[in-house]
Amino acid sequence: RKEVEQDPGPFNVPEGATVAFNCTYSNSASQSFFWYRQDCRKEPKLLMSVYSSGNEDGRFTAQLNRASQYISLLIRDSKLSDSATYLCVVKGNNFNKFYFGSGTKLNVKP
């Protein structure tokens, strides 16, 4: 079983739409959680960390549900520039081992 599972998509949405991604993780002892963004043919870059209480950064909201072992990312008022692959990342109980989901592709259309 994979450490982190995501729906690969693609999610095709119009500009201005709200879109949500989920991912699940298998290790209940995982410590830290993140969303990374990867543009085509580029390296992954940190989008935001995910806190137990939930956190927001502009149009982006991340939530963590430890009981159900899933993480979510909500994007409001989608922009064309949001088109990318969104990677769910979990840091395991081995302190510095980061596990990446396979990514969810988002296409925002005009």
Partner 1 sequence: DAGVIQSPRHEVTEMGQEVTLRCKPISGHDYLFWYRQTMMRGLELLIYFNNNVPIDDSGMPEDRFSAKMPNASFSTLKIQPSEPRDSAVYFCASSLGQRTTNEKLFFGSGTQLSVL
Nearer to partner 1, 67 or 95 (CB): 95
* Strand-pair partners of 20: 74
Stretch touching partner 1 by CB under 8 A, among 12-20, 63-71, 75-83, 98-106: 98-106
The CB-of-19 to partner 1 minimum distance in angstroms stands at 21
For the CB of residue 81, give the shortest distance to partner 1 in the complex, in Å.
Answer: 20
**Two structure tokens written together for 104:** 């969810």
Between residue 7 and residue 66, which ones bind partner 1 under the rule CB under 8 A? Answer: 31-32, 34, 36, 42-46, 49
User: What is the Cα 99 distance to its own chain's centre?
Assistant: 12
Q: Given strand 4-6, what is the order of strands in its sheet?
A: 4-6, 19-25, 70-75, 60-65, 55-57
CA gap 36, 49 in Å, rounded: 9
Give 38's Cβ-side CA count (13 Å radius): 16
Query: Can residue 100 be called a binding residue for partner 1 (CB under 8 A)?
Result: yes
Q: Which residues bind partner 1 (CB under 8 A)?
A: 31-32, 34, 36, 42-46, 49, 87, 89, 91, 94-103
